């Protein structure tokens, strides 16, 4: 695989790396997530049933307002938050919520990030450089290509440790 590096127009937070959950779907922390169980819970969300804790969410757009922003902070206070969120488009309220919740964020790319980042890959987010770097594709990644293009897959997600 050639190295994949994407550059964002908007960024905040600290440098982090984790497994990416990718879907051509939006994110409303209020309506899409079960904050007590740490999973996507809206039945029609493409990531329904999958844990977002400790993952980097790569989604199409931010949805929601002040309640979503507050919930990101609340989830982080209980160690039940994603480590970063990546969007094609983001609204100011969710950007503010990511800052309040100390969740790294990138947004605004020249290409659809949900189509080029493979689901389950291990990625690095560097807000200072405004980059998303795919460090490693997921092991046995047979669903990434179709899933990234919007086909639902609710199979369990397996963490892949970083290469040393």
pLDDT tens per residue, the chain (164 residues)? Answer: 568 999 999 999 999 999 999 999 999 988 999 988 999 999 999 999 999 999 999 999 998 788 888 899 999 999 999 999 999 999 998 999 999 999 999 999 999 999 999 999 999 999 999 999 999 887 544 433 333 333 333 333 333 334 44
Both tokens of 3, joined, read 């190295």
Stated pTM of the model? 0.82
- CATH no., domain 4-148: 3.50.30.10
d(CA 105, CA 43): 25
User: How far, CA to CA in Å, does 3 sit from each of 44, 98, 101, 110, 134?
Assistant: 33, 27, 30, 17, 7
């Amino acid at each position: 695989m050639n190295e994949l590096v994407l550059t964002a127009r908007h960024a905040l937070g600290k440098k982090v790396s984790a497994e990416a959950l990718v879907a051509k779907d939006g994110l409303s922390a209020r309506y899409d997530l079960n904050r007590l169980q740490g999973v996507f819970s809206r039945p029609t969300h493409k990531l329904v049933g999958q844990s977002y804790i400790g993952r980097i969410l790569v989604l199409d757009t931010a949805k929601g307002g002040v309640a979503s922003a507050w919930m990101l902070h609340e989830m982080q206070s209980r160690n039940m938050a994603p480590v970063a969120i990546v969007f094609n488009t983001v609204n100011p309220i969710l950007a503010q919520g990511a800052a309040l919740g100390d969740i790294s964020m990138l947004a605004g790319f020249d290409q659809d990030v949900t189509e080029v980042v493979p689901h389950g890959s291990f990625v690095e987010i560097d807000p200072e450089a405004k980059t998303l770097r795919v460090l490693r594709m997921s092991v046995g990644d047979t669903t990434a290509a179709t899933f990234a293009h919007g086909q639902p897959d609710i199979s369990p997600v397996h963490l892949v440790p970083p290469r040393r």
